[in-house]
């Protein structure tokens, strides 16, 4: 492949690789096209980059990062590759097809080698986890994080968007989210607008040590 141009080098997320992801999806799992398209919507890019940018201010040394509920990994993996460099990334999702697509995407189209793909249901199979960094951007889909024995620098996101019936564990405030997470030390907490089109719904984020 010819070398990337200056403009391409400026992009932390190589959006041109999404073309390959969509083509792979269309070939392997065409019923997932809409879902893949949603995975790089504005709010997904904003939330993941918000998380990794803040995270990068707080980690000292990182050998391993676990991403719980990693979906296709197409936004967070390029960000982690950029900010955490040589760290091994462990992707976890209970959605086998999503994980299969993230494997093809990360390995073939992104050229990322240091990744493991773990087909597990976080709610039932990931009770105990110790790592340098643990990321969960889908806490609204899962049991409260205090139910898990996580040890390490943790970055969690949730929201108050209850209209989606898959959101079984929304929180209304950052205080409620903090209460759900059992941090020993909080390094960052904050909130952002959840959608681009309304101010009512919010995404919450906490980074801290557990």
Binding site for other proteins (CB under 8 A): 31-32, 34-35, 95, 97-98, 123-124, 141-143, 147, 164-166, 168-169
Least Cβ distance, residue 125 to other proteins (angstroms):
11
State which residue, 35 or 132, has the beta carbon closest to other proteins: 35
d(CA 74, CA 202): 23
Least Cβ distance, residue 111 to other proteins (angstroms):
26
d(CA 7, CA 152): 36
State which residue, 113 or 165, has the beta carbon closest to other proteins: 165
State which residue, 179 or 209, has the beta carbon closest to other proteins: 179
d(CA 25, CA 164): 24
Least Cβ distance, residue 32 to other proteins (angstroms):
6
CA distance readout (Å), 79 to 42, 57, 83, 144:
15, 14, 6, 26
Least Cβ distance, residue 141 to other proteins (angstroms):
7
d(CA 39, CA 194): 14
CA 115 to chain centre: 14
Least Cβ distance, residue 3 to other proteins (angstroms):
36
Contacts of 145 (CB under 8 A, 6+ apart): 136, 139, 154, 156, 180, 181, 182
State which residue, 97 or 191, has the beta carbon closest to other proteins: 97
Least Cβ distance, residue 140 to other proteins (angstroms):
11
CA 204 to chain centre: 14
State which residue, 9 or 38, has the beta carbon closest to other proteins: 38
State which residue, 30 or 60, has the beta carbon closest to other proteins: 30
């Amino acid at each position: 492949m010819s070398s990337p141009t200056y403009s391409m080098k400026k992009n932390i997320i190589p959006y041109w690789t999404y073309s390959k992801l969509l083509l792979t999806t269309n070939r392997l799992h065409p019923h997932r096209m809409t879902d893949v398209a949603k995975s790089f919507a504005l709010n997904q890019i904003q939330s993941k980059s918000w998380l990794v940018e803040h995270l990068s201010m707080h980690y000292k040394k990182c050998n391993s990062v676990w991403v719980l509920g990693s979906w296709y990994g197409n936004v967070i993996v390029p960000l982690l590759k950029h900010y955490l460099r040589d760290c091994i990334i462990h992707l976890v999702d209970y959605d086998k097809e999503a994980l299969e697509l993230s494997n093809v995407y990360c390995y073939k189209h992104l050229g990322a080698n240091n990744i493991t793909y773990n087909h597990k249901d976080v709610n039932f199979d990931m009770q105990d986890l110790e790592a340098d960094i643990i990321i969960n951007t889908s806490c609204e889909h899962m049991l409260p994080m205090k139910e898990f024995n996580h040890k390490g620098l943790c970055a969690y996101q949730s929201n108050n968007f209850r209209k989606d019936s898959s959101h079984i564990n929304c929180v209304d405030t950052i205080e409620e989210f903090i209460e759900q997470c059992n941090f020993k030390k909080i390094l960052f907490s904050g909130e952002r607008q959840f959608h681009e089109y309304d101010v009512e719904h919010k995404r919450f984020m906490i980074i801290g040590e557990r």
